[in-house]
């Protein structure tokens, strides 16, 4: 099917990764994109989409994309997305690809609620894929999972691995694992591709993010001088990947060149940083002494018990988050990335070197005081939107000239990040840091 005849159904567009995936679809394909969004009506869904586009591209974004992106109101927890018969037929008739990225990423949901969103939502989208495939048009169903379906597995978790009796840290990991189990049963019947990101952080060049959870939480506690130690070995692996690399990998794996029946782990893998490296760079950026890292054989049973003491006294406000993230200190994860590396390296796409990645991420966190300085965030997002508009304009000019949509031959992710790092030079004072 010609690239400009593709119609991609995307879920999760209002999320941090979802909006970046939308940008990559606009710049690296000629496809039209239908964004399924939970809303009371199609008009309300379009309003939510317009807000996403404005944050991505600035004022006038809807006109800039020239009708390539539309919104449909749909509920993943309802049969057939809650669509009427006519709307469902129209969607099925158009769809060539499905990129299912909508999920709850909370660690503290009950298993029933996590399954309702992450497992049942995947089943709903899988039913849509079956209908589209029966019409003879569906080329790929892509599922954005997580590398942490590997749970507490002590060895590097390979892309072909799934059920290894690994045990899980929380209901998020378990529900995503169960969704992958469901998809494995259908891979002989449908063209399914699974993508597993590890810990997603801000943009590789700017550090911009809209979410300050996971790795940002312990960094914030350290920067605010609340916790000055961490129950982790200095050699503890910390697998971080920037959101733009993950979004590009999603598009390449699901739309541009990945294989059906394969899983692609978008992670740093063997190049993951170690905890002492993250600690040293954080100390430099936040200009305080490095945190104390230690790990003993008693930690795995003693610390979870001791953490209950945080629920009283001055530490109570941090207790819930501490207990959610503690298992990631006690049970480190490692990932194999063979499939993803082979696919993306052939297109000139590589994750930035860990030191090049972490610098802008930490600087953005400091400049915005971990999302608490709204004025700095608005300035950074405005600057980021201008950069995106330029990139999109270039892509559109290439497409209008009849050339192929850029697929990595232009500039690798590593080259882009290196240029950004050289342009920054030495670390500048962060903007308007607010005391925590």
**Full set of structural domains in the chain with CATH:** 3-207+239-271+334-355+373-424 (3.40.50.720)
- pLDDT score, position 305: 55
- Residue 420: band (very low, low, confident or very high) from pLDDT cuts 50, 70, 90: very low
Contacts 24+ apart (CB under 8 A), 418-423: 418/352, 418/356, 420/204, 420/205, 420/206, 420/360, 421/356, 421/359, 421/360
- pLDDT score, position 427: 35
Using N-to-C axis directions, what is the helix angle for 275-286 and 354-367, rounded to 10°? 40
Kind and range of the H or E run holding 388 = helix 374-400
Is residue 413 scored above 70 in pLDDT? no
Is residue 418 scored above 60 in pLDDT? no
- pLDDT score, position 1: 64
What does the alpha-carbon distance between residue 340 and residue 38 come to, in Å, rounded to a whole number? Answer: 31
Of residues 424 and 90, more confidence is placed in 90
Mean pLDDT to the nearest integer, 282-297:
88
Q: How high does pLDDT run on average in the chain?
A: 87
Segment 209-221, tens digit of pLDDT: 988 989 999 999 9
Measured in whole angstroms, the distance separating CA 253 from the mean position of its chain's CA atoms is 14
- pLDDT score, position 314: 55
Segment 259-271, tens digit of pLDDT: 999 999 999 999 9
Mean pLDDT to the nearest integer, 358-380:
94
Q: Give phi and psi for 107, each to the nearest 5.
A: -90, -15
The top-scoring range by mean pLDDT among 116-125, 217-226, 425-434 is 116-125
Could you tell me if residue 7 is left (phi over 0), alpha (psi between -120 and 50 degrees) or otherwise beta?
beta
Segment 92-110, tens digit of pLDDT: 999 999 999 999 999 999 9
Coil/strand/helix, residue 95:
coil
Mean pLDDT to the nearest integer, 3-22:
93
- pLDDT score, position 304: 62
Mean pLDDT to the nearest integer, 129-141:
95
Is residue 434 scored above 50 in pLDDT? no
Segment 290-339, tens digit of pLDDT: 998 877 766 655 566 555 555 555 566 677 887 888 889 888 999 999 99
What does the alpha-carbon distance between residue 36 and residue 125 come to, in Å, rounded to a whole number? Answer: 11
Q: Could you tell me which of 105, 108, 14 has the C-alpha nearest to residue 55?
A: 14
Kind and range of the H or E run holding 366 = helix 354-367
- pLDDT score, position 3: 64
Of residues 307 and 41, more confidence is placed in 41
Structure tokens at 67: 């009708």
- pLDDT score, position 397: 87
Kind and range of the H or E run holding 195 = strand 192-197
- Residue 141: band (very low, low, confident or very high) from pLDDT cuts 50, 70, 90: very high
- pLDDT score, position 320: 80
Structure tokens at 207: 């550090």
Percent residues over pLDDT 90 in the chain: 72
362 by Cβ neighbours in 10 Å (0-12 / 13-18 / 19+) ranks as buried
What does the alpha-carbon distance between residue 45 and residue 228 come to, in Å, rounded to a whole number? Answer: 44
What does the alpha-carbon distance between residue 53 and residue 66 come to, in Å, rounded to a whole number? Answer: 12
What does the alpha-carbon distance between residue 301 and residue 281 come to, in Å, rounded to a whole number? Answer: 30
What does the alpha-carbon distance between residue 157 and residue 302 come to, in Å, rounded to a whole number? Answer: 27
- pLDDT score, position 423: 36
Percent residues over pLDDT 70 in the chain: 86
Tell me, what DSSP letter sits at residue 294?
Answer: -
Of residues 313 and 164, more confidence is placed in 164
What is the number of alpha carbons within 13 Å of residue 102 lying toward its C-beta?
26
Segment 231-260, tens digit of pLDDT: 888 999 999 999 999 999 999 999 998 999
The top-scoring range by mean pLDDT among 241-245, 392-396, 402-406, 427-431 is 241-245
């Amino acid at each position: 099917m010609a690239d400009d005849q593709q119609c991609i159904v995307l879920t999760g567009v209002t999320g941090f990764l979802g909006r970046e995936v939308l940008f990559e679809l606009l710049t690296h394909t000629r496809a039209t994109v239908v964004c399924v969004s939970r809303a009371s009506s199609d008009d309300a869904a379009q309003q939510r989409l317009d807000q996403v586009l404005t944050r991505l591209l600035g004022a006038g974004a809807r006109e800039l994309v020239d009708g390539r992106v539309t919104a449909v109101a749909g509920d993943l927890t309802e049969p057939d997305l809650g669509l009427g018969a006519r709307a469902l037929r129209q969607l099925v008739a158009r769809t060539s690809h499905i990129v299912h990225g909508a999920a709850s990423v909370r660690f503290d949901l009950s298993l029933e609620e996590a399954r309702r969103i992450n497992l049942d939502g995947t089943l709903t989208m899988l039913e849509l894929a079956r209908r589209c495939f029966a019409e003879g048009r569906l080329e790929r169903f892509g599922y954005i999972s997580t590398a942490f379906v590997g749970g507490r597995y002590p060895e590097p978790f390979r892309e072909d691995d799934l059920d290894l009796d690994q045990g899980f840290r929380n209901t998020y990991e378990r529900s995503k694992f169960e969704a992958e189990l469901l998809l494995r049963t259908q891979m002989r019947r449908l063209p399914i591709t699974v993508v597993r990101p590890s810990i997603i952080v801000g943009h590789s060049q700017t550090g911009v993010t809209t979410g300050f959870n996971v790795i940002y939480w312990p960094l914030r506690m350290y920067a605010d001088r609340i916790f000055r130690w961490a129950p982790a070995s200095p050699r503890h692996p910390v697998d971080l990947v920037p959101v733009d690399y993950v979004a590009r990998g999603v598009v390449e794996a699901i739309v541009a060149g990945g294989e059906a029946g394969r899983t692609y782990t978008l992670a740093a893998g063997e190049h993951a940083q170690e905890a002492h490296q993250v600690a040293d760079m954080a100390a430099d950026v936040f200009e305080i002494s490095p945190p104390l890292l230690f790990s003993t054989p008693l930690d795995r049973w003693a610390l979870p018990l001791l953490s209950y003491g945080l629920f009283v006294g001055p530490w109570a406000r941090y207790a819930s988050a501490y207990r959610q993230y503690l298992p990631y200190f006690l049970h480190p994860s490692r990932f194999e990335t063979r499939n993803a590396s082979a696919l993306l390296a052939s297109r000139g796409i590589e994750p930035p070197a860990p030191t090049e990645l972490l610098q802008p991420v930490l600087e953005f966190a400091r400049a915005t005081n971990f999302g608490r300085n709204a004025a700095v965030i608005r300035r950074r997002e405005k600057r980021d939107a201008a950069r995106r508009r330029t990139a999109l304009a270039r892509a559109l000019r290439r497409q209008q000239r009849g050339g192929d949509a850029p697929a990595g031959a232009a500039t690798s992710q590593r080259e882009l990040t290196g240029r950004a790092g050289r342009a920054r030079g030495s670390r500048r004072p962060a903007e308007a840091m607010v005391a925590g």
